[in-house]
């Protein structure tokens, strides 16, 4: 297929309605390209795990480039309050490190409910997203077209097929059968806690106003993030201006989103150190296992866990992609978790998928205008995506890997003690703190360098 040049007008089908796939669809639609999305979930409210996603400045740039201005404004209005602090605590809630989030310190971003983000990204694509379409396989034809076949017996054809179908991507399995995922050996349990006066009283101000990581013995770790919104189903609430309130009231996604203020927590550890396999447990047993893992932690943290909405608990077997050598480009490609699944260790998974969407969308727009041949455009996208995507995979794994010393029975105690001492020193020595902040910001900057082209 190396000789293939796309016909005009260009048509694109996207398999999967995740963050990256929907952002790409918006960008292509704005560029006047015929795009259709096929999603295995039966409705626009199915299939989500996780309750918070952080959108960094580079993810924001990709969304702004792809979304119509009014929809981007709606996205901003429906984000949670931006956290003011990044905290690291012991399991007894003793401060190890606290850094302000903002222009003067760590670059900020936006915190958004995953369901809300999904509803925002589905808005305006109602005629282009086809639900209850389980992808089975694709077939490439001599005329340069590609056909996708679905489990219900239907099919669809286009000039380009993009696999945005997540970690279990069937598109990736066919395109790159040798590509594989690898277990990190880390398992995690998470849930939501409704924000009430009682739950707020359990946490100190910096935790209520920030993102908090907890380091504990046995290599256990935890995250706490408070999600407070300036809107509800009735429309505006304090903190929302009149224009934003009007945007939200007119926004169709409001009918499908019931977000209220909540606290999200997650607890993780190496599978060998966890008393039971959370992947095999029901919700109540998962919560009981979390209480067992956090025995000896501060009573307020355990009280928060007990206050969880049982229906929101879920477990994750943390996996990561194994980098793949370059492959021949064609009219089938992949983006996001379908190719570079990463751990949450750096918090850049969704943002890397958005970067993919912006880059690939710009390349396909050049194809549609006759500036580039399709295979050349896809090859350039894939070369850049492999570089930054697999770099992010490697960096993210450093924080979630059972081979790390902190998960070992004896060595882990010394590793934990050394880490805590180092964090306390950094927290109390301004030049060291500045160096750490600069390092974090450089990492985030490297995730957006050179390749993202706005369209």
CB atoms within 10 A of CB 219: 24
pLDDT of amino acid 437: 75
Q: Is 132 exposed, middle or buried (0-12, 13-18, 19+ CB in 10 A)?
A: middle
pLDDT of amino acid 235: 45
Q: For 197-248, how does the pLDDT look when each residue is reduced to its tens digit (9 = 90+)?
A: 999 999 999 999 999 999 999 999 999 999 998 765 444 443 444 457 777 8
Q: Please, what's the b/e burial string for 25-61 (b: 16 or more CB within 10 A of its CB; e: otherwise)?
A: bbbbbbbebebbbbbbbeebeeeeeebbbbbbebbbb
What is the separation, in whole angstroms, between the first and last Cα of the chain?
27
pTM of the model: 0.90
Domain membership of residue 136 (yes or no) is: yes
Domain membership of residue 412 (yes or no) is: no
Domain membership of residue 240 (yes or no) is: yes
Task: Provide the CATH number for the domain around residue 278.
Answer: 3.50.50.60
How much is the CA Rg of the chain, to the nearest whole Å? 22
Beta carbons within 8 Å of 72's beta carbon, 6+ residues apart: 63, 64
- Are the CB atoms for 61 and 361 separated by under 8 Å? no
DSSP-derived 3-state class of residue 111: strand
Domain membership of residue 207 (yes or no) is: yes
Domain membership of residue 2 (yes or no) is: no
Domain membership of residue 409 (yes or no) is: no
Counting as low any pLDDT under 50, the low residues of the chain are 1-7, 103-106, 233-242, 445-455
Domain membership of residue 251 (yes or no) is: yes
- What does 423-445 look like in DSSP terms, one character per residue? HHHHHH-HHHHHHHHHHHHHHHH
Domain count, the chain: 1
What is the residue range of 128's domain?
A: 11-404+439-446
Of 40, 41, 44, nearest in space to 151 by CA: 40
Domain membership of residue 310 (yes or no) is: yes
Q: What's the CA gap between 168 and 336, in Å, rounded?
A: 12
- Position of tokens 């605590």? 89
Q: What's the CA gap between 329 and 376, in Å, rounded?
A: 8
């Amino acid at each position: 297929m190396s000789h293939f040049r796309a016909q005009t007008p260009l048509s694109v089908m996207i398999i999967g309605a995740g963050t990256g796939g929907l952002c790409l669809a918006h960008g292509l639609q704005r560029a006047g390209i015929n795009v259709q999305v096929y999603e295995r979930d039966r409705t626009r409210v199915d299939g989500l795990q996780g309750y918070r996603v952080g959108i960094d400045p580079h993810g924001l740039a990709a969304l702004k480039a792809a979304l119509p201005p009014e929809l981007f404004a709606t996205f901003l209005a429906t984000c949670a309050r931006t956290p003011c602090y990044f905290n690291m605590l012991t399991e007894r809630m003793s401060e190890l490190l606290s850094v302000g989030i903002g222009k003067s310190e760590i670059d900020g971003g936006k915190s958004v409910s995953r369901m809300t983000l999904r509803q925002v990204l589905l808005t305006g694509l109602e005629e282009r997203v086809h639900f209850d379409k389980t992808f089975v396989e694709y077939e490439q034809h001599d005329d340069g077209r590609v056909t996708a076949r679905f489990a219900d017996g239907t099919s669809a054809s286009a000039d380009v097929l993009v696999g945005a179908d997540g970690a279990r991507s069937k598109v990736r399995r066919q395109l790159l059968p040798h590509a594989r995922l690898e277990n990190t050996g880390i398992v995690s349990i998470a849930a939501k806690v409704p924000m009430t006066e009682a739950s707020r009283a359990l946490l100190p101000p910096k935790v209520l106003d920030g993102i908090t990581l907890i380091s504990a013995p046995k290599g256990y770790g935890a995250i706490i993030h408070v999600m407070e919104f300036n809107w509800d189903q009735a429309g505006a609430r304090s903190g929302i201006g009149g224009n934003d309130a009007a945007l939200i009231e007119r926004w169709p996604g409001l009918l499908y989103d019931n977000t209220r203020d909540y606290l999200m927590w997650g607890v993780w550890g190496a599978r060998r150190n966890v008393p039971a396999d959370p992947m095999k447990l029901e919700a109540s047993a998962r919560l009981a296992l979390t209480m067992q893992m956090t025995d000896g932690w501060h009573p307020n943290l355990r009280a928060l866990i007990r206050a969880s909405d049982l229906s929101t608990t879920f477990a994750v077997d943390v996996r990561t992609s194994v980098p793949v050598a370059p492959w021949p480009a064609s009219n089938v490609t992949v983006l996001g978790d379908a190719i570079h699944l990463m751990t949450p260790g750096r918090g850049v998974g969704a943002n890397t998928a958005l970067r993919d969407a912006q880059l690939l969308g710009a390349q396909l727009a050049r194809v549609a205008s006759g500036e580039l041949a399709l295979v050349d455009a896809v090859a350039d996208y894939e070369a850049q995506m492999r570089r930054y995507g697999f770099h992010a995979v490697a960096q993210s794994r450093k924080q979630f890997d059972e081979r790390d010393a902190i998960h070992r029975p004896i060595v882990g105690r010394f590793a934990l003690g050394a880490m805590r001492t180092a964090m306390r020193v950094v927290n109390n020595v301004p030049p060291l703190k500045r160096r750490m902040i600069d390092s974090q910001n450089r990492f985030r900057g490297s995730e957006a360098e050179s390749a993202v082209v706005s369209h």
